[in-house]
Amino acid sequence: MKETAVVIMAAGKGKRMKSDLPKVLHNLAGKPILNYVLDTINHFEVKRKIIIVGYKSEKIRELIGDKIEYAEQKEQLGTAHAVLQTKELLSDFKGNVLILSGDVPFLTVKILKRLLKYHQSNNFCCTLISAILKNPQGYGRIIRDKEGKMEGIIEEVDLPVDKKLITEINTGIYCFDKEKLFQALEKIVPENKQGEYYLTDLVKILLKEGLEVGSIIAKDNSEILGINTQLDLANASKKVYQRMIQKLMFQGVSIIDPNSTFIEPGVKIGQDTIIYPFTIIEKGTKIGKSCLIGPYSHLIDANIGNGVKIWASIIEGSTVKERVNIGPYAHLRPETIVKKGAKIGNFVELKKTILGEGSKASHLTYLGDAVIGKQVNIGAGTITCNYNGQKKNKTVIEEGVFIGSNNSLVAPVKLGKGSYTGAGSTITEDVPPDSLAIARSKQRNIKGWSKRRKRT
Ligand code: UD1
Ligand code: CA
């Protein structure tokens, strides 16, 4: 087997996306489009990996780092011009050049292996992957003669009317013999409606020279899907979500409405957990068994134990242990840990806080930079005043504390084990264990006041 160099074309802006972000960096169900291609080639043994960058190349370099070689295409003059930019990098290389597009994300290792094998065993100078699509719009079409021999590729915009019905398309994935590739690239001229150097013109050039060009047909059309517009992106995302939802359902997760549920690849969910509609679960979230999640919940990088209930809430970068009850309308911000059997109710926000086993914050509360022990009751409207405008300070609430409603806990402050605070208190000093702290002005009743007011 000859050696293989992979070249990924990713220099274009993606004009049809109508966006300032390079097309290949658009988010496809949790990761940039380009990362799908990179993940595939990481499972594929190749001698060299090169990516062609151009439009906002610094953004792509920042994302990928130095695990790949870069070729810079300063002006985006077309796919042939793009590949030509790898000439110098590949000057010492001998073997096959596998050309991929950064905007064709679902390609599998299996089909690439099939392509290479077919290319090699037939000794072609170029082999491409084609596909038969019901709706071929937007793709270059494969032109064949009456005997089915390939004659060339015509881009959608240059297609004469009588060829519009051709359903065999070019997927933009090719394997070339390196020497032949670069010799033929020099011969391409930008004579087409877009005035671009088309890589697809290579087919005609090579055939003219009497060389053989082969093709294999993709068996699964979703694999070769190219993303050019925001609509293509949304359709591709849908495919990823649907695939993920199906996988989870086969593992015993109940998903009430797959159409309104969005779960990113890599998320893990235990058996008998029910996911209610309008729920989004992102980035490496793990959920245990027998949980009830949603409706209207958004989990990002969350670690959820068994038997947890989450209703209409947002959880980011937090750990929630078994049998915790959350929501509706709670927000757990990063570095929060909620321990076994605790309860977080309506309009409660936690940030960088540990809430102990069996503790409750049931209504209208903000707990930030707090360490809260077991069996603590946080009254409605309690606020940790953790920020003095300069620095974040810590609140410590020990086991069994009872905080009355509408308290302000001015950090740094510590409430000792088993202590109580009166409703409406502003706690500025530590409270010793087992004591009651009342920190509010005493009520004064002025008798007959309202009657006197009415008379004047
Ligand atoms: C290309 C093919 C078309 C095929 C389709 C499959 C050509 C001329 N056409 O069309 O036959 O059906 O893919 O998806 O090749 N790029 C560069 N530099 C450039 C231009 C493009 O790096 O100067 C990159 C883009 O960033 C993109 C890839 O090449 O990742 C393909 O370019 P795109 O403009 O999307 O080509 P299509 O019109 O889809
Ligand atoms: Ca494309």
Token pair for residue 127?
């082999």
Q: Is residue 82 part of a domain?
A: yes
Domain with 96 in it: what CATH number?
Answer: 3.90.550.10
Mean pLDDT, range 237-249, rounded to an integer: 97
Ligand nearest to the CA of 155: 1
Does 287 fall in a domain?
Answer: no
Mean pLDDT of 71-95: 97
Please tell me the distance between residue 126's alpha carbon and the centre of ligand 1 in angstroms: 18
- Per residue in 129-175, pLDDT (tens digit) is 999 999 999 999 999 999 999 999 999 999 999 999 999 999 999 99
pLDDT in tens, 271-282: 999 999 999 999
**What six digits make up the tokens of 78?**
């077309």
Residue from 26, 70, 103 to probe ligand 1 pocket by mutation (most atoms less than 8 Å from CB): 103
Number of domains, the chain: 1
Minimum-distance ligand to the CA of 173? 1
Q: Indicate whether this model's pTM tops 0.75.
A: yes
Q: In this structure, what is the dihedral angle of CA atoms 94, 99, 105, 110, given to the nearest 10 degrees? A: -60
Question: Which residue is closest in CA terms to ligand 1's atom 19?
Answer: 78
For range 425-446, the mean pLDDT: 97
> Residue 217: what are its φ and ψ, rounded to 5°?
-105, 130
What is the phi/psi pair of residue 88, to 5°? -65, -45
| Average pLDDT across the chain, whole number | 97
Q: Report yes or no: 116 and 203 within 8 Å, Cβ to Cβ.
A: no
Q: Give the residue-averaged pLDDT of 380-404.
A: 97
Task: Supply the range of the domain harboring residue 45.
Answer: 4-223
pLDDT of 1: 79
**The predicted structure's pLDDT at residue 370:** 98
- Atom number of ligand 1 nearest to Cα 197: 8
Domain assignment present for residue 445? The answer is no
79 is an annotated ligand-binding site residue: yes
* Alpha-carbon separation of residue 195 from 28, 186, 204, 370, 384 (angstroms): 30, 16, 17, 63, 64
73 marked among binding-site residues:
yes
Q: Is residue 47 part of a domain?
A: yes
Any domain includes 272: no
CB-based pocket (< 6 A), ligand 1: 9-12, 24, 52, 73, 76-79, 81-82, 101-104, 139-140, 153, 155, 169-172, 198-200, 226, 228
The answer to whether position 121 is within a domain reads yes
pLDDT reported for residue 455 = 82
User: In a mutational test of the pocket of ligand 1, which residue from 101, 141, 200 has the highest number of ligand atoms less than 8 Å from its CB?
Assistant: 101
Q: What is the pLDDT of residues 10-64, one digit of tens each?
A: 999 999 999 999 999 999 999 999 999 999 999 989 999 999 999 999 999 999 9
Nearest ligand to the CA of 159 is: 1
43 assigned to active site: no
pLDDT tens per residue, range 353-390: 999 999 999 999 999 999 999 999 999 999 999 999 99
What pLDDT, in 10s, does the model give residues 310-339?
A: 999 999 999 999 999 999 999 999 999 999
Strand partners, 349: 331, 366
Q: What angle do CA 228, 231, 232 make, to 5 degrees?
A: 45
Ion ligand 2, residue ranges at CB < 5 A = 103, 226, 228
The residue nearest atom 3 of ligand 1, judged by CA position, is 140
- Taking CA atoms only, the protein residue closest to ligand 1 atom 22 is 11
pLDDT(99) > 90: yes
> Is residue 67 a part of any domain in this protein?
yes
**In ligand 1, which atom is closest to the CA atom of 82?**
18
In whole angstroms, what is the distance from residue 449 CA to residue 456 CA?
A: 11
Q: What angle do CA 224, 229, 234 make, to 5 degrees?
A: 75
pLDDT at residue 376, as a whole number:
98
> What is the per-residue pLDDT across 199-241, written as a single tens digit (0 to 9) for each?
999 999 999 999 999 999 999 999 999 999 999 999 999 999 9
pLDDT range class, residue 398, cuts 50, 70, 90: very high
Ligand 2 mean position to 208 CA, how many Å?
A: 26
